[in-house]
């Protein structure tokens, strides 16, 4: 139960801090990592 009460506010904070621009940047970083791996 303590674990859930610790994680729940953090999840809310993530959802509040990451609207669409945040998800877009996450996709960009993921694409960049994939591109770097393919180049090696």
What does the alpha-carbon distance between residue 12 and residue 17 come to, in Å, rounded to a whole number?
9
Per the structure, the complete domain to which residue 22 belongs is given by 2-39
Q: What is the mean pLDDT of each run of 10 residues along the chain (40 residues)?
A: 62 68 76 81
Give, as one character, the DSSP assignment of residue 30: H
Give, as one character, the DSSP assignment of residue 19: S
How many structural domains is the chain composed of? 1
């Amino acid at each position: 139960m303590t674990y859930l009460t610790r994680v729940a506010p953090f999840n809310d904070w993530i959802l509040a801090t990451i609207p669409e621009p945040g998800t877009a940047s996450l996709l960009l970083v993921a694409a960049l990592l994939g591109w770097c791996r393919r180049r090696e």
